[in-house]
Structure 1
Amino acid sequence: MDKHVKKLQGITRVAGAVSGEALVTSEKLSHLVNAIGSDGVIRMNGHPLKGQSYAGKIIVYDTDIFSTGGALGLYFKSRIKQTGPLALICRRVHPISVGGAVDAQIPAVDGFDQDPCQEIKSGDLVRINAPEAGGEAIVEICPAGTGTPSGDTGQWSGPSKPVAQKRRIWPQDSLKLTFYEEEMLYGKHGRAKQAAMERLVEFGQGMASKRMVPICSAHVFSDWKNYDLVIGSWPLYEEFAALGAKVAVPTTVESTVMADELVHDQGMPWHYQVMMPAGEVYAAMRPVHEALKDMGVQVIPTCIPYMHLTPPRFGEFHVTAESNHAAYANIMLGARVNRDPANMVFYAAITGIMPEYGMHLAENRRGQMLFEVAPDLLPELQDVGDYVALGGAIGFRAVDRVPVVLGLNHLSNEQGKAFCACVSPALTYPMMHIVGVTPEARTMEEAFGGPIPKDVERISIGKQEIRELFHNTRQTDRQDIDVGVIGCPFLTFQELAGLAELLDGRTVKKRLWLYTDYVFYSAAKKAGLLARIEKSGARVVHSCCPGMIIRDASAAESLVYATDSLKVARLMSGIGWPKNWLGTRRDVVNAAITGRFEPSRWL
C-alpha cells in the first residue's frame, strides 16, 4: 500500500464498493429536503457545511438527525435527481439512513476502529469496499494533495473492486423468516409483496435483525409530485400502485401540503409567499393521494394518529414515519415503536411485518442516565410551550441515550405530546422513561431494568436549563414578526378550546395559523370553537404540515416567525426558510396580536 494511504476497518450496513472525494463534518446531518435540497446543497441553519453540495461525493458525518423522511430524501436525490452522495460513512449509521441507502443503492458503513470524522478530511480521495451487510468494511483514504496512489489511478477514479471477506460481525443469515415471510420473498403472494420484502430483508440484514415482527398499524408520508421541494416518496408510491399493492394493516398518512376543500382560501398558508400557485401544487398532490387510496391507505392527513385513528396499546408493534408518533407511543403508552426509515414503513404496511431492531427490543429501552426535574421548576410549568422546552432541554443533553426522568408525576395528553416532540429535533431515539408516567417505569428500578447503576450520570433540570433552551433556539434579533405558528405536532380538541379562550375578544395584527387535522377540525367546528377562534382573525389550518409549504426561498428568508414548536424552530430553518423565535404558546398568541415577539417568561 502507498505510504500516504490510511486504512480504516468498520462494519457494512448496506453493501457496495465505490471511490470518490470526501465531504466531512463531525456534526449530524439530515437528508430530508428541508435540510438538504433536491439539488444536494446543505441548507441546515448553523451547520458547518451549510451552502456546500454533497452531490457525487462520499459524505462523512456523525449520524442522522431530524425526520425519518431523510430516508426518502436520500433515495430521491440519489435515484431520481442524481444529486445524492456516492456513499455514507458515519460514526453510527442511523436506521433512517440504513433504510435510505437500501433504496438509494449506495454503501453505508460505520463501526470503525478509528473516528472517521477525524481521520478523513474534506477533499481526500476515499475508496470503500463493503461486500456484505454485517461483514467487514474497508475504507482507504488518500489525503488531498498527495495524488492517487502509485499504479492505482484507475481504481481511485472509478468503482472499487470487491475484496474478499475477512471477518463478520454478525452472520449473513442471522435474519430468520417464517414460512409465510419466505413465500412473500419468493413472490408467491405477488410482485408487490416480493419487492417490499426484498428491501425489508436488506434493511433487516443491515440492522442485524434476527426476525420480523408483526405490526398493528403503519403511518406513511404524504407527498406531491414534483422534482424540487418534495419528500421523495411519490415515485415509490407510483411503482407499487402499478404493481397492484395493497396495505396489509390499518395505514394512515402524514400531514400534507394543503387541505382539499380549502385550496382556494386566500387566508391559508399555502397562499402566502409561495413558490407556486396553490392550484398547481394541489394538482400535483392529488395523484399521490389517489395512489395511496388505491393501495388502501386511510388518507386523512395527520401527524398524531395515536390520538384517534390508530391508538397504540402496551406491547404492540407499530411502524411510523412520524417521530413524535413513535415517541408518544413508547413513552406514554408503552408500545414498541422506532423512528423507522419512511420508505421501510411503506414496505412494512404492504407486508404487515418489520425487521425487529431498536426499540422493539427490551435491552434497548432501558434507561441509561437520570434527569431530575428540580422541585422549584414544577410550579413554572404552566404553558404547553414549557413542556416543549423541558423535553428539548433533556433531549439535547441525552442525544442518543435513553433518559430516565424523575419528578414529573403526571402529564396530560397535550403536555405529553409537547414533551415527546423533542424527539427528532433533539433526542435521537424515541424513548424516555418518565417515572410514574411511562407504563414500563412505575419505579426507577423498572426504568433502568434493574438496580440503579451506582455510576449513573445524574443531571438536574431547573429554570436555568429551560431559559437556555428558549434563548439558544432563537434565530433573529428582529422582534417584529410576520407570522405566528402553533400546532406542530397538530393541536387536539382541548388545545383548540384553550386557544379559543386565549383569543376571545381579541384581534390579531399578524397572521396566526393554528394547525390541526380534519378529525379535530371537524369537532372544533361542530362545537363552535372554529368560529370563536377565527373571529379574532386567526385561522385554523387542517391537514397541512407547516414544513410542507413550498415558499419562495428569497422571500421566506426575510420572514420572522414566532412558534411554540421546537420542530418548526429546528427543522424548518436555514437556507430558504424563515427565522424563528421559540416561545410559550401564550407569548406566540400575544406576538400575533401586537405584531412583536416580547417574551413574558424565561427572560
Structure 2
Amino acid sequence: MALALSEADKARLAGADGPGAAAAMRIVADAARLLGAEALTPVTSAHIDGCLYHGDAGTEFAEFLVAKGAKVAVPSTLNVGALDLMRPGNVHLPPHRREMALRLMRAYEALGCRSTWTCAPYQAGHRPALGDQVAWGESNAVAFCNSVLGARTNRYGDYLDIACAIAGVAPLTGLHLTENRRARIVLTTEAISDRLKHEDAFWPVIGAIVGRRAGTGVVAVDGLQGAATEDRLKSLGASAASFGAVGLFHVVGETPEAPTLEAVLQGEAPDEVIALTPADIADALALLSTATGDEVTAIGIGSPHLSMAEFEALLAALGGRKVRLPFYANTGRHVVAALEAKGLLATLDAAGITIIADTCIVTTRIITEPGGVLLTNSGKFAHYAPGNIGYDVLYGSLSDCVESAVAGTLTRDLTLWQ
C-alpha cells in the first residue's frame, strides 16, 4: 500500500514550515516507504544520537538543517557528543576533529534540542509516559524507553532521529504497533540463585544473554520479580541492545507492559521458551571478558551514564580510599550538578576518580595510552571497548572495579558467580 500522509504532513512536505522542515519530512516519508509503513504517527518527543561526531558529513548535514531554518517540533534531548564541554581537557582530539565535533554539538543546540549530552536522558527528566509515541535514538535509551517506561519507539539511527524530531512524526511500524510488542521468546530463571539475582553485576550478564538469544526480537524474562531496580533494568537493556539489537524487553512483574507473562504474550504461545542454567550464566560472563591474566590498565564505569544512586554506591565502596589506577566515571552533566550541590565532586576528585561528562571513554579519545586492559562493570563497555578503543576488557562487579583500582592490580571476587 502507498504511504498515507495527513494534510499537515503534505503541507510540511510542500514547504509550509520552511525548507528545513520540508527536507526532514522528505527523509521521514522516504524511510517510511522503505520500511513498508502505511502511515506516519505523531511523536511527542525525541532523543537524538546523531550529535556524536563520526565525520565531517554529519556536521555538514546538521548545519544544512540549521541554515534551512529547521527547528525541532517536539521536546528533544541530545545523546553524548565527542567532547566533554565541562572539562575540555579530558578529551584529546586533533584540532580539526575537535572543531568539527564542537560545530556539530552547537548545530544541534541551534536546532532547538536540549543540551543534555547523555545516553541516559531518562535520568535527566526526559521520561515519556506509558503508550506515548516517540522517536528515540541510542540503543540503551531506546531499550529503556520501550521497556521500562512503556513508551513506543523504534531504534532510530543517525540521522532519521533528528528528521523525525523536526517533522514531528515517525513511520508507524515496528515497535510503535501493539502487535509487534508481543514477547516471542521467554527466558525463565528459576535455576538461578536468588542471591545472584540481587547482585547488580548479574544484570548486564543476563542482558548479554537476551541480546545474543533475541537479536532484534522481543523477550520476556520471568523469575526476576522483586530483584529489579531502575539501574539494574538500565544495565540489562544496555547489554541486550549491545550484544543484540534489542529494542524492547519485558521483565515479568516489573516492567509496565508485563504485569503477567500472559499479558506480554498477548494470548499467544511463545515461539521459544529457554530455561536459563548456571552454565548459561557462566558462558555469558566469559563473553564479557576478552582479556586473560591479571593486567589492568584502567577502570571504566558508566555506560549507560552513572546515576546519582550509582555514584553513592561508588563512594560507599571507596570508603575514603584513593585509587592507584586511572578510574573513569562517565555521567551526565545533570548528575555532575547534583554531585556538586552535595559537595561530593571534591571527594571524588580527592579519591583520584576522573569524572567524564557529555561523552564517554569509548566514543572519543580520552584514554590515550595504546592498547591495554579495561576493567568494567558495564556490559556496554565490555562490548564496545575492544573495537572502539583497542582495549581488551575484563568484566567485574563495582566492588571488583574499586578494589582493583585501590590495590593497583586485579582483585576480583569470583565466588559471586559460584
Q: Same fold (TM over 0.5)?
A: yes
- Flag the 1:524–1:575 CA change in 2: closer, same or farther, 3 A: closer
Partner residue of 1:424 out of 241, 252, 267:
241
Quick check: 1:223–1:232 contact (8 Å CA) kept in 2? no
Partner of 2:408: 595
Range moving further from structure 2, 210-219 or 535-544: 535-544
- Flag the 1:291–1:186 CA change in 2: closer, same or farther, 3 A: same
**1:576 CA drift (Å):** 5.2
Over residues 228-273 of structure 1, what are the superposed CA-to-partner deviations in whole Å (9 max), with x where a residue is unaligned? x549521210111111111111111111223223113xxx3x2xxx
Rounded to whole Å, the distance in 1 between the matches of 2:279 and 2:191 is 13
Quick check: 1:212–1:354 contact (8 Å CA) kept in 2? yes
**2:392 aligned with 1:579, yes or no?**
yes
Rounded to whole Å, the distance in 1 between the matches of 2:56 and 2:114 is 19
Rounded to whole Å, the distance in 2 between the matches of 1:490 and 1:479 is 27
Partner of 1:263: 88
SS of match in other structure, 2:410: coil
Rounded to whole Å, the distance in 1 between the matches of 2:350 and 2:157 is 41
**2:330 aligned with 1:515, yes or no?**
yes
Quick check: 1:499–1:533 contact (8 Å CA) kept in 2? no
Quick check: 1:504–1:533 contact (8 Å CA) kept in 2? no
Partner of 1:470: 285
Partner of 1:525: 340
Partner of 2:63: 238
Rounded to whole Å, the distance in 1 between the matches of 2:388 and 2:144 is 30
Rounded to whole Å, the distance in 2 between the matches of 1:417 and 1:463 is 22
Quick check: 2:129–2:149 contact (8 Å CA) kept in 1? yes
SS of match in other structure, 1:332: helix
**1:381 CA drift (Å):** 2.8
Rounded to whole Å, the distance in 2 between the matches of 1:487 and 1:247 is 29
Quick check: 1:224–1:284 contact (8 Å CA) kept in 2? no
Quick check: 1:222–1:233 contact (8 Å CA) kept in 2? yes
**2:209 aligned with 1:393, yes or no?**
yes
Partner of 2:19: 191
Rounded to whole Å, the distance in 1 between the matches of 2:200 and 2:117 is 23
Q: Quick one: which amino acid aligns to residue 433 of structure 1?
A: H
Quick check: 1:478–1:560 contact (8 Å CA) kept in 2? no
Rounded to whole Å, the distance in 1 between the matches of 2:337 and 2:388 is 35
Partner of 2:39: 211
Quick check: 1:213–1:355 contact (8 Å CA) kept in 2? yes
**2:70 aligned with 1:254, yes or no?**
no
Rounded to whole Å, the distance in 2 between the matches of 1:420 and 1:597 is 27
1:204-603 equivalences under 5 Å are 204-221=32-49, 223=51, 230=55, 233-264=58-89, 268=90, 270=91, 274=92, 276=93, 282-374=98-190, 376-410=192-226, 411-453=228-270, 456-550=271-365, 555-556=369-370, 558-574=371-387, 577-601=390-414, 602=417
**1:432 CA drift (Å):** 1.4
Q: Quick one: which amino acid aligns to residue 597 of structure 1?
A: L
Stretches (4+) displaced over 6 A: none
- Flag the 1:582–1:284 CA change in 2: closer, same or farther, 3 A: same
Larger radius of gyration: 1
SS of match in other structure, 2:381: helix
Quick check: 1:480–1:595 contact (8 Å CA) kept in 2? no
Quick check: 1:376–1:462 contact (8 Å CA) kept in 2? yes
Structure 1 gaps of 5+ residues are 1-170
Rounded to whole Å, the distance in 2 between the matches of 1:246 and 1:337 is 21
Structure 1 or 2: larger helix share? 2
Rounded to whole Å, the distance in 1 between the matches of 2:357 and 2:409 is 26
Structure 2 gaps of 5+ residues are none
Rounded to whole Å, the distance in 2 between the matches of 1:575 and 1:387 is 23
Question: Larger relative CO (CA 8 A, sep 6+): 1 or 2?
Answer: 2
Quick check: 2:363–2:388 contact (8 Å CA) kept in 1? no
Over residues 62-94 of structure 1, what are the superposed CA-to-partner deviations in whole Å (9 max), with x where a residue is unaligned? xxxxxxxxxxxxxxxxxxxxxxxxxxxxxxxxx
**1:398 CA drift (Å):** 2.0
- Flag the 1:526–1:352 CA change in 2: closer, same or farther, 3 A: same
Quick check: 2:302–2:330 contact (8 Å CA) kept in 1? yes
SS of match in other structure, 2:159: helix
Rounded to whole Å, the distance in 1 between the matches of 2:80 and 2:293 is 30
Quick check: 2:191–2:276 contact (8 Å CA) kept in 1? no
- Flag the 1:353–1:317 CA change in 2: closer, same or farther, 3 A: same
TM-score computed with the length of structure 1 as normaliser: 0.65
Rounded to whole Å, the distance in 2 between the matches of 1:420 and 1:575 is 20
Rounded to whole Å, the distance in 1 between the matches of 2:43 and 2:388 is 38
- Flag the 1:587–1:542 CA change in 2: closer, same or farther, 3 A: same
- Flag the 1:241–1:529 CA change in 2: closer, same or farther, 3 A: same
- Flag the 1:325–1:378 CA change in 2: closer, same or farther, 3 A: same
Quick check: 2:362–2:389 contact (8 Å CA) kept in 1? no
TM-score computed with the length of structure 2 as normaliser: 0.93
- Flag the 1:376–1:330 CA change in 2: closer, same or farther, 3 A: same
**1:375 CA drift (Å):** 5.1
**1:513 CA drift (Å):** 0.7
Partner of 1:72: none
Rounded to whole Å, the distance in 2 between the matches of 1:231 and 1:359 is 32
- Flag the 1:341–1:285 CA change in 2: closer, same or farther, 3 A: closer
1:163-202 equivalences under 5 Å are 171=1, 173=2, 175-202=3-30
Rounded to whole Å, the distance in 2 between the matches of 1:188 and 1:180 is 9
SS of match in other structure, 1:548: coil
Rounded to whole Å, the distance in 1 between the matches of 2:178 and 2:214 is 19
